[in-house]
Chain A
Amino acid sequence: MLSIENIEVTYHHTVQALRGLSLEVPKGRIVTLLGTNGAGKTTTLKAASNLLRLENGEVGEGRIRFKGEDTRHIAPDMLVKKGLFHVREGRRIFAEMTVEDNLIAASYALDGRPGLKADFDKVYDFFPQLRERRKQIAGYLSGGEQQMLAFGRAMIAQPEMILMDEPSLGLAPKVVEEIFETIRRLNAEDGTTMLVVEQNAGVAFSVADYGYIMESGQIVMEGDVPTLRNDPDIQSFYLGVGGEGNVRQSFRDVKHYKRRKRWLS
């Protein structure tokens, strides 16, 4: 559905952020893109949704195709109408508007797509908290509720594919689980294709089918999630398993740690 072929991205004509990155997201699948801070994950998503140009970034070499169509000359708002929705890093909800108005803003994505109507009830059924806070100013929602709202906006737009930028950022483990459960549900029920950018490999692997690992602007490893999960490098760098000194014997210890943290939150 989305294919990125060998793209290079520079900011302000000087800073190179991506160097020959390629990835492929097949229809109906959940693909995750992992990497540390500054690896270029967010840049990759912005390149795909064409928001890059607004920040003085430019795709030099290579090309990006969405549903087989080169996206280079499609304005970001038109790309949304074609079915590619970008949930941005840090949620980026409209803080001064009400929850409902935030959702109405997303319904612009449906303009010019006959037969589609904004389904607010579906969002409120997914996230009952949002229904209660419908008339509240979105800036006063908790972090988790803001992420739900960001997700809700994506649902209103009824995209064929969602780009998710670090949905777990700054959220309690319980809320993260809820958000990833929603990702799974949306993929299973509506067949929405997902590209999920994460730092938290554990949760990302729990929903994804396929994964890419990137480092300083390039893909360094890719594979099916079970394969990646068993890779010793990934275990030590992204899953926090193993490593010198403090060797954990089994996955159960990690699980234990996670459970405790969840209990505290």
Chain B
Amino acid sequence: MGQILQFGINGLMSGAIYALIAVGIVSVFKATKVVNFAHGYLIMFGAYFYFTFAVLLPGMSWAPAWYVSWEPAWLVEMKEGLPMFSPLGAVLDWLTNLPRVIIGLIGALAANAVVGLIIERVLMRPLMGQSVFAMIMVTVGLISVMSGGAQLIWTADANYVPSLAPNTPIRFTLFDTQIFLFGTDLVNAVIAVLLFGAIVAMVQFTKGGVAIRATAEDQSTAYSMGISVPRVFARAWVLASLTGAIAGAILATRNGVSPSLGLFGFSVLAIVLMGGLDSYVGVFIAALVVGVLEAMTQWKFGGDWAGIVPYVAVLLVILVRPHGLFGQKEVERI
């Protein structure tokens, strides 16, 4: 019993990250009806931008000292005399990295937004009015371009980046079980869930969200309401790039930066299909389910199986419900 809780919580936390990745795919699909196969590589670019602004730039000879390592007097003073591996020590270590983390995130967000805009402007917009299939094929082509591009720019070596939050171990008791978590994982999951919630609320309750939903349903009628459809498309791509940048930074802190990060996009695509391509709620639930399933498989059958079992589940769901768990079939008038 004890273990199941521990693994369940681990699963929920990685599920939240999947959800954050999935939200980019769903947003682009909702607005433009394009399934973005290259979303994983957009995330990889986000990770590399984070790496650039948090590791490469501080490594330059001209980088100011506070950027490389922030050590104000009070911090140094507090650090002195702390025992090894103390929780406070972890927080203080993270504080020294704080400027790098913040500049890294801001840089990743900005640079990735530019990449998303370029993709939309240069590759997608000229295809507007053509069949959606053409655009989907372009995203497939983008996979090679982006993974090759990343290797050219940043080389293919795996690299490590500072984590987004202090890596303090957290221990607590839940239902008489000792639970052990890493602080970073918890903070990452919370960031992911909050971002997800914010985006869903934006789409459901704001005027901008109305424009996205209207465009999703009927592009030419959205036009005839005075909604600038190209602008909605651009916004959807920027939204996907921004969430992709955060997701990329999180994945980079967990697994290191390497071109193989792009592969995450494919497993998340399966999750998105399971939840229903255009349903935020369905995708969120599917992401958590797959996360937990993965953790449970890892626990019972070992890591080799963990990559397979959840996706078999996805296949089964799609067999039974082709629109996904919560995918919207068209509203029929009664």
Contact = CB atoms under 8 A, between A and B. Distances in A.
B174 interface: no
B129 A92 contact: no
Contact of A54 (B214, B219, B333): B219
Contacts of A96: 213, 217, 328, 330-331
Contacts of A139: 331-333
B300 interface: no
Given A95-B217, A97-B217, A101-B213, A49 B331 contact: no
A153 to B, nearest CB: 7
A192 interface: no
B255 interface: no
A54 B215 CA distance: 13
A80 B223 CA distance: 8
Contact of A105 (B211, B219, B220, B330): B211
B333 A80 contact: no
Contact of B224 (A76, A97, A104): A76
Interface stretch (A3-11, A107-115, A206-214, A235-243): A107-115
A94 B217 CA distance: 7
A75 B221 contact: no
A85 B331 contact: no
Contacts of B207: 104, 107-108
B60 interface: no
B214, B225, B228: which has the most chain A beta carbons within 10 Å? Answer: B225
Interface residues of A, number: 35
B225 to A, nearest CB: 5
Contact of B226 (A54, A88, A108, A143): A108
Interface in B210-247: 210-211, 213-214, 217-229
Interface residues of B, number: 25
A94 B334 contact: no
A76 B193 CA distance: 38
Contacts of A56: 129
Contact of A140 (B219, B221, B331): B331
A41 interface: no
Nearest to A82: B226
Given A104-B207, A140-B333, A77 B214 contact: no
Contacts of A143: 333
Contact of B227 (A77, A137, A140, A141): A77
B226 A111 contact: yes
Nearest to B278: A96
A53 interface: yes
Contact of A88 (B214, B219, B224): B224
A143 B210 CA distance: 23
Contacts of B219: 54
Given A86-B224, A110-B226, A140-B331, 4 more contacts: A51-B224, A96-B331, A108-B228, A111-B226
- Which 4 pairs, one residue from A and one from B, show the smallest C-beta to C-beta distance? A109-B226, A139-B331, A80-B226, A76-B223
